[in-house]
């Protein structure tokens, strides 16, 4: 059963500009330490951050909320499985909202896909629930 779907498109140039203008303040406000370590280690730093920004927005939409409406930027984190596949880790308001929309007796699963093609980054988030 699908309980949420969200999509977001982000302009990589906008993220690159924010990284340049606000230095460390921008990534420290929006991204977890693990996300910052991952993106700062990449040659395509702005694209990495842009994909994660889009994922946070798409996830907030899938949860039926917006960022700063019960869900903080760092409540949603993009993490990678050992295979390299991206997935989402929810804490705080995002985790609470997921629990709220998950039907009783079911377990929610989050699915994430990320893509970028200069100058855009895209994320799609699907939340489904199944029997425990």
pLDDT in tens, 55-92: 999 999 999 987 777 889 999 999 999 999 999 999 99
Q: How far apart are CA 62 and CA 108, in angstroms?
A: 12
What CATH code would you report for 2-131? 3.90.470.20
Task: Specify whether the CB–CB gap between 120 and 9 falls below 8 A.
Answer: yes
Q: What is the pLDDT of residue 66?
A: 75
Q: How far apart are CA 68 and CA 81, in angstroms?
A: 27
Q: How far apart are CA 99 and CA 75, in angstroms?
A: 14
Q: What is the pLDDT of residue 23?
A: 82
Residue with tokens 């629990």: 99
Length of the chain: 132
What pTM was computed for the model?
A: 0.94
Task: Specify whether the CB–CB gap between 97 and 54 falls below 8 A.
Answer: no
Task: Specify whether the CB–CB gap between 100 and 3 falls below 8 A.
Answer: no
Please check if 57 is assigned to a binding site.
Answer: yes
């Amino acid at each position: 059963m699908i309980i949420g779907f969200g999509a977001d498109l982000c302009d990589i140039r906008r993220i690159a500009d924010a990284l340049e203008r606000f230095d460390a303040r921008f990534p420290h406000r929006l991204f977890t330490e693990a996300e910052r370590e991952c993106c700062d280690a990449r040659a395509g730093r702005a694209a990495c951050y842009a994909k994660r920004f889009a994922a946070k927005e798409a996830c907030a939409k899938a949860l039926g909320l917006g960022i700063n409406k019960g869900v903080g930027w760092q409540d949603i984190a993009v993490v990678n499985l050992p295979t390299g596949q991206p997935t989402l880790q929810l804490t705080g308001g995002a985790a609470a909202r997921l629990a709220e929309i998950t039907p009783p007796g079911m377990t929610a699963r989050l699915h994430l896909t990320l893509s970028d093609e200069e100058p855009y980054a895209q994320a799609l988030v699907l939340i489904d629930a199944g029997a425990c």
